[in-house]
Structure 1
Amino acid sequence: GGRAIRRGRCRILRLRSVPFCACASRRTLCLLVCFTTIDVTGFDVRPAAGGYSKQLLGQKDFLKLTVFGGDPAQAARPSTAPPGYGAMESNGKSSDGWSPASSPYNSKSQIVSVEPSKSHPKGSRTFVYFLAVFAVIGGLLFGYDTGIVSGSMLLLQPHFELNTIWQESIVSATIAAAALFALIAGVTCDAIGRKKTIMIASFVFAVGAVVMGVAPDKEVLLVGRIVVGIGIGFASMTVPVYVAESAPADIRGKLVTLNQLFITIGILVSSVVAGAFSEMKETGWRYMLGLAGVPGAIQFIGFLFLPESPRWLVSKGRDDEAREVLRKIRGHDDVEEELKEVQEAEAKKQTGFVFMQIMKTPHVRKALFCGCGLHYYSATILKMSGFPPSLAIWLVCVPFTVNFLATFIGVFLVERLGRKLLTCISFVGCIIALGVLAIGFQLSATHSPPVNRNMTIFMPNMTEVTDKCTTSYSICEDCILNTDCGYCFDEDVSGYGTCLLAKDGDKEVYSTYGRCGENTTFINTTFGHTWAYGYCPTDYTWMAVLGLALFVLSFAPGLGPMPWTINSEIYPMWARGTGNAIATFFNWAFNLLVSYTFLTLTETITKYGTFWLFAGICVLGLTFTIIFVPETRNKSLEEVEELFMTKEKREQHRREREKQEEITVEYKPEKGDDTRL
């Protein structure tokens, strides 16, 4: 007789008079001489038919260990285990030559049979991959909307005669709605389930896309953007939680990272769609915005046939349904141990207002701080690195393609390097990239072309111009920092540049007068006059291109997907919905903040100063990650909770789990049977 207790990820079976131990691995089972312990990694104890035999079924290492006793006929049963598993044969010798009889501690050891377990058939994860792909269509919707708004705006602006305020409102309305409804999603996904919340998100997104596509005026278009933001808010918060709660621990990070991959796919698809319809000046934007409803409809239909999160089902007392869902998505019937862990976590569920319970629970509060911090740095860096709106629609496909391909690196490495290391490497790459960008802009500013203030500028009526632009600045960099001014220069003649007052034209900003005016015959003709609004001609453009490419390569595998992956793992089940909702709100809130402050920063502290500022934020983010973010790779969602506890609390929590999981193993030899294990 004895007990099996769980220590960490192992089950240790203790028997009173056993002179050897069995050490399991994925490919071999070694029987080693020792005193009183059989150590079977990741095994459970199950009753077997006939005699007094007990089965130990491998939960992790796919082995089956049978200890026979009582009936001599059963004890003499030969093992069917293949060579290499170290199985004991019926003559008392192991398949690799070792015999328990040779042990000085036991000359009458009985037979131990080891067989490969059939509990975990290979190829059983097809359904969970299918489930994850349908779930992360929500990421594709998010990415498509993010990318399509810039392409469609080039057609929307002249069609509806949108001024700057309306353009900013149409873009920002979606972000603001997403931030608000990400918080609301924390309540709905706990109340009605993850599945139904995602279905609501896809339905709302599809409706919003239709509203935008048929919008007769800018007011209806704005309403459509808000509706789409509601769908994005629901999906961005719920999809990572649903995937994390459904996926096995060893591939959970990879599957959650698929969400970021689909975001980049959505961005890439949006750039292609925008290019395809860019020549349809009057109706192209309707197709761009309306087509977003197609993936939303596909996701809604697909989720009619997908199961609810098993952990949410347990939280609602629907254990039988949770068991069936686990069997379906794991591909085998041996799910009792996992279900038991979920039930134990649910038994510790806090009561009352969840947010207040999060604030009162130290280790969960720490997890929330970690999650919100990751999303702050992620959102800040992503928005700051935005692509210039002056790029041609098709040219945007290039960085979007790099972003898409680089995300595969994250999917490949997330379970190999771990979340924390991948995030730190990503931060380092972004710091270097931002440094390159800052130096490039600083060199451009230092070597900025001069403004020729000796040139006399005349209005069409031959009146001399003496406004603030023509008289106040001596170099191009100072000129363009004033949004009322632009730089007009001759590409072939140095020292011929002038700072002129800008005005809004039919399609872009022009000079109010002179050779770079909207109706002049000189601009961009054989005379070589070029109007630069918001930038200066420079020989250091390549540094900006290099820095941007390096930034995308660094951001996409780490800072892009890892905050979403880690946030879906670090909260206990009772706080997962609310915790993710708050962290997602932080993501959208800082998206909105940076959108409204970036141009102001570039005007106040210069462009290179802004990039140095964000490089400094990256350094803070790297420090934050090293100090506060734990590694969650290969840990169950229930085990991750312990990572944020104090050492004393962690030990207490583990003792409670070990006490709950104690198992008694009995061996009852028949009268006259002197066989010993």
Structure 2
Amino acid sequence: MIQDNTVSNTFYVNLLLVCLGSLQFGYHMGVLNSAGPYITCQYQDYSSADDVCIPMSSQQFAQVTSIFSVGGLIGSFLAGKLADAKGRKFTSLFNTAGFVIGSLILIYSTNVHLFSVGRLILGISSGSSIVFTSLMITEIAPSHMIDSLGTFNQSFINIGILIVQSLSIKYAKALIWKRLFIVSFVFSVMQFALSVVLLKESTKWLFESNKISQAKDVLRSLRSASISESQFIKDFKYITTDDNDLELSDHPKQVIGWKEYLTNSKYKKSAMFVALILIGQQFCGINAIILYSTQVISDLSSKDQADLPTQVNFVISIVNTIFTFISPKTISFFGKKNSLSLSAFFMGISSLLITLSLSFKQLYLLIIFVIAFIICFALGVGPIPFAIISDLNPSEARTVSQSYGTVINWIGTILVSYSFPILAEMLGMSTVFCMFALFSIFFGLFIYSKLPTKANQVEETEALLN
């Protein structure tokens, strides 16, 4: 974890608790991947033991898979309102309670309907959690740590995926697959208990609720005792106001809702940029690899290489996790704008090479370029979009803009995840990756030429778009 002498140990504890929601999201997003055949009784005679698996048709399994994304959309939409109305800590406990309840339902599910309810609840908590993580990091971290910590959301999602894939090697089997959900239940209970005791309320939310004294006390607990009073005041201004040159005031600032964010001309350009960046992340084709890499590799592998797609998928998760943790260094060096544009551009180049490998049936070159694609994603297009939302919006719009961006991202995820296999069958997989390549290259060029370079420069955003 990043070390800094301006923050306290309490800060690092809170940072970890905040990021556990993103880890849970990654865990539950990937849990059905390997365990699906055993959950749906494909490898089990269930005539005499109805509780060891849940008979499902392919359509029903698609339902329990997709309803997680539906829940994610709902959670993303509600997260901002809940965080502003009830506070950030309440929102975290709400999300964690959803993970507890959803996991418990899956453990005791005996039919597809109850299983779907559990997945829906987990999706709601997951969608809300990834909004909460990005929002909370910007409200507890010093300004000089924001860029580095902004990648933690994506990093912990990747860790969650990696954990569940590691556990699946042992537990994604007939009779014992429910242990995957027992693990998540126990973990969620522990997370809830720790959050009740240790998680601090957001300084910004307390300030906006006119609890100025409490806001200062919370921030002091998150900062090192060695920082000067002037540093503390500067930090407090940064978190609670848009303009750090303003005199510190004890007057709370107003926050806005969805209607004003989408209709007020002040936020129109910012909302447009958020939508383009978050939908662009998905249209670069990342979920074609994350969700369908086994199918992509299987297209060229032989029957003797039946285990190869699964092995490549596991390697992809490891590579994605490692390079997402490396990304703070590269982002700090190149900056968010250049890192995002270069990442998208080279994802496009990698997609073109994947297209050629598929066309000429070069299996091992395909694997190399798929891994290169993942590396390019992890260094920019993966972690930056959610981290950059706060930079594009004024203080009163940051909460709703996080929810808005996450909803847009969920819509992109659903579109790509459902359309990819259909388009691959209709047009050929190489053609689909060629489409991803063209989009990624143009997306990278657009970011390079249009994205503002300084935090909170909404006027610059509008000038560039106009």
Identity, % of aligned pairs? 22
**Aligned in 2, Cα 1:357/1:164: closer, same or farther, shift over 3 Å?**
closer
Q: Which has the higher strand share?
A: 1
Provide the residue aligned with 1:421 in structure 2: 338
Distance in 2, Cα, partners of 1:225 & 1:122: 41
CA-CA distance at 1:306 after TM superposition: 1.9
Query: 1:146-225, aligned counterparts within 5 Å?
Result: 146-157=29-40, 158=42, 159-225=53-119
Query: 1:213-252, aligned counterparts within 5 Å?
Result: 213-252=107-146
CA-CA distance at 1:358 after TM superposition: 4.8
Provide the residue aligned with 1:302 in structure 2: 194
Provide the residue aligned with 1:356 in structure 2: 260
Distance in 1, Cα, partners of 2:313 & 2:240: 49
**Aligned in 2, Cα 1:295/1:623: closer, same or farther, shift over 3 Å?**
farther
Distance in 1, Cα, partners of 2:171 & 2:240: 53
CA-CA distance at 1:198 after TM superposition: 1.5
Residue 317 of structure 1, aligned match among 210, 217, 222: 210
Q: Are the counterparts in 2 of residues 437 and 547 from structure 1 also a CA contact under 8 Å?
A: yes
Provide the residue aligned with 2:168 in structure 1: 274
CA-CA distance at 1:620 after TM superposition: 2.7
Provide the residue aligned with 1:371 in structure 2: 274
Q: Deviations over 1:566-625 (max 9, x none)?
A: 124332221111111111001111111112211111122211110011111112321331
Provide the residue aligned with 1:674 in structure 2: none
Query: 1:14-413, aligned counterparts within 5 Å?
Result: 122=5, 124-157=7-40, 158=42, 159-278=53-172, 280-282=173-175, 284-304=176-196, 305-331=198-224, 332=227, 334=229, 335-340=232-237, 344-345=241-242, 349=253, 353-362=257-266, 364-380=267-283, 381-386=285-290, 387-388=293-294, 392=307, 393=310, 396-413=313-330
The secondary structure found in structure 2 opposite 1:385 is helix
Q: Which amino acid aligns with 1:148?
A: V
**Aligned in 2, Cα 1:291/1:368: closer, same or farther, shift over 3 Å?**
same
Q: Which amino acid aligns with 1:249?
A: S
Query: 1:464-475, aligned counterparts within 5 Å?
Result: none
**Aligned in 2, Cα 1:631/1:128: closer, same or farther, shift over 3 Å?**
farther
Distance in 2, Cα, partners of 1:294 & 1:256: 28
CA-CA distance at 1:432 after TM superposition: 1.4
Residue 381 of structure 2, aligned match among 534, 559, 568: 559
Q: Are the counterparts in 1 of residues 142 and 235 from structure 2 also a CA contact under 8 Å?
A: no
Residue 644 of structure 1, aligned match among 446, 458, 461: 461
Q: Are the counterparts in 2 of residues 195 and 242 from structure 1 also a CA contact under 8 Å?
A: no
CA-CA distance at 1:353 after TM superposition: 5.0
Q: Are the counterparts in 1 of residues 8 and 221 from structure 2 also a CA contact under 8 Å?
A: no
**Aligned in 2, Cα 1:433/1:342: closer, same or farther, shift over 3 Å?**
closer
- Please say if 1:586 is aligned against 2:386: no
**Aligned in 2, Cα 1:442/1:569: closer, same or farther, shift over 3 Å?**
same
Residue 431 of structure 1, aligned match among 342, 348, 373: 348
Provide the residue aligned with 1:440 in structure 2: 357
**Aligned in 2, Cα 1:298/1:412: closer, same or farther, shift over 3 Å?**
farther
Q: Are the counterparts in 2 of residues 358 and 365 from structure 1 also a CA contact under 8 Å?
A: yes
**Aligned in 2, Cα 1:353/1:228: closer, same or farther, shift over 3 Å?**
closer
- Please say if 1:608 is aligned against 2:430: yes
Q: Which amino acid aligns with 1:131?
A: N
CA-CA distance at 1:339 after TM superposition: 3.2
Distance in 2, Cα, partners of 1:412 & 1:236: 22
Distance in 2, Cα, partners of 1:425 & 1:176: 32
Provide the residue aligned with 2:246 in structure 1: none
Distance in 2, Cα, partners of 1:196 & 1:165: 37
**Aligned in 2, Cα 1:317/1:409: closer, same or farther, shift over 3 Å?**
same
Distance in 2, Cα, partners of 1:382 & 1:554: 10
CA-CA distance at 1:134 after TM superposition: 1.5
Provide the residue aligned with 2:48 in structure 1: none
The secondary structure found in structure 1 opposite 2:381 is coil
Distance in 2, Cα, partners of 1:298 & 1:366: 42
**Aligned in 2, Cα 1:296/1:642: closer, same or farther, shift over 3 Å?**
farther
Q: Which amino acid aligns with 2:180?
A: M
**Aligned in 2, Cα 1:438/1:291: closer, same or farther, shift over 3 Å?**
same
Distance in 2, Cα, partners of 1:294 & 1:422: 38
Distance in 2, Cα, partners of 1:357 & 1:369: 11
Q: Are the counterparts in 2 of residues 181 and 233 from structure 1 also a CA contact under 8 Å?
A: yes
CA-CA distance at 1:541 after TM superposition: 1.1
Q: Are the counterparts in 2 of residues 371 and 583 from structure 1 also a CA contact under 8 Å?
A: yes
Q: Which amino acid aligns with 2:38?
A: L
Distance in 2, Cα, partners of 1:183 & 1:299: 23
Q: Which amino acid aligns with 2:461?
A: F
Distance in 1, Cα, partners of 2:106 & 2:171: 16
Distance in 1, Cα, partners of 2:127 & 2:435: 29
Distance in 1, Cα, partners of 2:259 & 2:69: 23
**Aligned in 2, Cα 1:122/1:611: closer, same or farther, shift over 3 Å?**
closer
Q: Which amino acid aligns with 1:319?
A: I
Distance in 1, Cα, partners of 2:147 & 2:254: 27
Tell me the TM-score normalised to structure 2 length. Answer: 0.85
CA-CA distance at 1:357 after TM superposition: 4.6
**Aligned in 2, Cα 1:599/1:541: closer, same or farther, shift over 3 Å?**
same
Bigger Cα Rg: 1
CA-CA distance at 1:329 after TM superposition: 1.4
Which is worse superposed, 607-616 or 370-379? 370-379
Aligned residue pairs total 424
Q: Which amino acid aligns with 1:306?
A: L
Distance in 1, Cα, partners of 2:437 & 2:418: 19
Q: Are the counterparts in 2 of residues 183 and 581 from structure 1 also a CA contact under 8 Å?
A: yes
Tell me the TM-score normalised to structure 1 length. Answer: 0.59
The secondary structure found in structure 1 opposite 2:24 is helix
Distance in 2, Cα, partners of 1:179 & 1:599: 22
> Gapped runs of 5+ residues in structure 2?
43-52, 243-248, 299-305
Distance in 2, Cα, partners of 1:357 & 1:430: 32
Distance in 1, Cα, partners of 2:255 & 2:16: 34
The secondary structure found in structure 1 opposite 2:391 is coil
- Please say if 1:597 is aligned against 2:416: no
Q: Which has the higher helix share?
A: 2
CA-CA distance at 1:643 after TM superposition: 4.7
Q: Which amino acid aligns with 2:26?
A: G
Q: Are the counterparts in 1 of residues 130 and 153 from structure 2 also a CA contact under 8 Å?
A: no
Query: 1:466-615, aligned counterparts within 5 Å?
Result: 540-615=362-437
Distance in 2, Cα, partners of 1:552 & 1:583: 22
**Aligned in 2, Cα 1:351/1:553: closer, same or farther, shift over 3 Å?**
closer
**Aligned in 2, Cα 1:385/1:343: closer, same or farther, shift over 3 Å?**
closer
Provide the residue aligned with 2:445 in structure 1: 623
Distance in 2, Cα, partners of 1:214 & 1:310: 40
